[in-house]
Structure 1
Amino acid sequence: MTDIRPMTEADWPQVWPFFDEIVQAGETYAYPLDLTSDRARALWTMSPPGQTVVLEEDGRILGSATMGPNRPGRGSHVGTASFMVSPAARGRGVGRTLGEYVVQWHRDAGFDAVQFNAVVETNTTAVRLWQSLGFTIIGTVPAAFDSRAHGRVGLHVMHLALGEPR
């Protein structure tokens, strides 16, 4: 059975290995390469009003997402999110399932939009996924990410309006 639920402290030992593998690959996240498990958990875990969830299947964590306000105060009506899918679970719809969950979570929480601040342009799988969920690229910051495989590449800012602005 597949379940998306809030991440608990007990889930981190399953999340940390794929979090670290993804960061070390150097293709999608600009986290420091020397993160400890504790520091990574602190960076990844959102506190209310945000949330961090895991997608679990038969006791195995296949992916995780964080979500919440993109900015505090007067920018808090726009949400943001980040996603990590275990390399062992890629191609199984985990990212799409988490993406759909995150969009609905933002709708249910009353956000006006969701903005992704830094989608690496060479991460074409993610770009296509977000576009298929209705996100548009509203700009690209040139050479803002140092990809291990491609060198300096752009970071897309992607946006999804959730309804009429308040």
Structure 2
Amino acid sequence: MLTLFPNIHQGRRLKKDDQINGDLPFVMAGTTNTGVVRNIGNDVRVFPKHSLTIDIFGNTFYRGYEFGAGDDTGVFWNDKMKDSKVLLYLKTIIEKSLVGKYDFGSKLRASQTHNFQFDIPKINNQIDYTFMSDFIRAVEKLVIKDLVIWADKKIAATKEIVDGV
């Protein structure tokens, strides 16, 4: 069995009333602002950029920056895995496998995730990091293409209205 994330840690409890203003993004459970509740100046563990966070509800996010985390958030990283595209691919696979499994009555904790298994692309029984990275790049290009088409349609519609006046 391959271990994608040899580093799995839970954040620590930091009540809202105890948080002080600062520069470190602080991650808690939720999807608003990708779980970042505020920037703090408290003396908390700083987790490395190129990490994934998974909260008690299974919400999963890629973090391309250093951050702190509350006790309702697990942090996953591999010091050898720095490609944001690969991590975005893995984030999606993990999050999709967790959808609907956790809620207030059944919370996910980092300690429960050590034996999770996910289907990931492999070639010759090795993780295919190139496929994952290329796949995300292709998706990004398609999104940009669709955005350009949408913007062109908006511009054309605006011109039609302006020319008609």
TM-score (structure 1 length as normaliser): 0.28
Higher strand share: 1
Q: TM-score, normalised by structure 2?
A: 0.28
User: Computing the radius of gyration over CA atoms, which structure comes out larger, 1 or 2?
Assistant: 2
